[in-house]
Amino acid sequence: MKLINWLSIALAAFTVVLTVVFFTWWSMKDRIAFGSDKFDQVKWMQAAPAIQTECKRGDMAYDLQQHILAIGSPRDAVAVLLGRPSYEDAHSVEYDLGKCMHVYHGLLIYFDENNRLTNSRISSH
């Protein structure tokens, strides 16, 4: 009976530690995976044709998202800064980042009805 109690406590402790580690990684994954370089518009534009195999744009995505793209920026200003998107609809655009961490990623940028930036996020597909 003592062995079962000890195993139950050990399993519960392991589960708590694993949960903390997972959520810590999850909350910091964009910074870790996509935050190694400062945004450089020339590199961003030059990397556009080569995104199928490498994560050339991905290294700049976090800095771009956190420090360059401002809430309320006009859609036209974003287009001038980043060039032609890979995907576009009435309320969002997506820029391919390349194959980062063995998965293709994109930078999704959302706009409101007045074509003002409301949100951005890094997505995987």
* Residue 98 forms part of a structural domain: yes
Phi, psi of 77 (to 5 degrees): -65, -40
* Residue 95 forms part of a structural domain: yes
* Residue 3 forms part of a structural domain: no
- Assign 64 to helix, strand or coil: helix
Q: Which tens digits make up the pLDDT trace of 54-105?
A: 787 888 888 898 899 999 999 999 999 999 999 999 999 999 988 887 888 8
Q: Which amino acid is at 30?
A: D
* Residue 55 forms part of a structural domain: yes
If one counts the domains in the chain, the total is 1
Tell me which residue range forms the domain holding 44: 34-124
Q: How many CB atoms lie within 10 A of CB 34?
A: 25
Q: Give the CATH number of the domain where residue 64 resides.
A: 3.30.1450.10
Q: What is the pLDDT of residue 52?
A: 59
Q: In angstroms, what CA-CA distances link 105 with 54, 88, 98, 101?
A: 11, 16, 6, 9
Task: In whole angstroms, give the CA distance from residue 96 to residue 84.
Answer: 11
pTM: 0.73
* Residue 105 forms part of a structural domain: yes
Q: How confident is the model at residue 19 (pLDDT cuts 50, 70, 90)?
A: confident
Most confident among 29-33, 34-38, 48-52, 93-97 (mean pLDDT):
93-97
* Residue 15 forms part of a structural domain: no
Task: Over range 41-59, report the average pLDDT.
Answer: 78
